[in-house]
Amino acid sequence: MRFLALSGSLRASSTNTALLRAFASEAPTGFAVEVFDAMGDLPPFSPDREADTPDSVLRLAEAVAACDGILIACPEYAHGIPGAFKNALDWLVSRFEIPGKPVMLVHASTRGEHVRAQLREVLSTMSCDLFPGPDFETHLIGRTQANATDILARADMRAEMRAKLDEFARFAARQRQG
């Protein structure tokens, strides 16, 4: 199974991106988690540009098409979804790749109830198949990326991430079988 990991933060030392990289390094044999590394390259969405879709958007769309499920880790900005991440979702709204795709939210913060609710609303409107939870969460706010990576490398955290990936894989396999 191949999972795609999308970070909602463009920050170089993002704890959300660190969390997704930690999930990638915990992928058991037979699983792969690819962290999409070009979210910052996507231009502002306009329906006028969909006829001549930019290459960076096509890369994202192809990565979505090729995966069996998507992991999203997204910070909360002003009680909402960060603009750059919502922009990425807007590029995918009218395309064929995302509907029906299993999606699991994971959180680098124990706060952020607004962004969690908004992501669920937006992703279900986009016909994604949302993992019913409970969500994986850990509190990394204010940590440097190196510090966050050390915390995520602890045996207890790694076991929790592996268990969550297993749960998500079972969910994605069930959805695929219909």
Q: How far is the CB of 49 from ligand FMN (least distance, A)?
A: 26
Residue 16 touches ligand FMN, criterion: CB under 6 A:
yes
Question: Which tokens go with 35?
Answer: 């962290």
Nearest residue (CB) to ligand FMN, 79 versus 174: 79
- Which pairing describes strands 69-73 and 2-7: parallel, antiparallel, or unpaired? parallel
Residue 79 touches ligand FMN, criterion: CB under 6 A:
yes
Query: Sign of the C-alpha dihedral, residues 77, 136, 140, 40?
Result: negative
Of the CA atoms within 13 Å of residue 4, those in its CB half-sphere come to 22
Nearest residue (CB) to ligand FMN, 20 versus 172: 20
Candidates 34-42, 60-68, 103-111, 118-126; binding stretch for ligand FMN (CB under 6 A): 103-111
Residue 138 touches ligand FMN, criterion: CB under 6 A:
no
- From residue 81 to residue 100, the character string flagging contacts with ligand FMN as x (rule: CB under 6 A) and all else as - is --------------------
Binding site for ligand FMN (CB under 6 A): 9, 11, 14-16, 75-79, 108-109, 111-112, 141
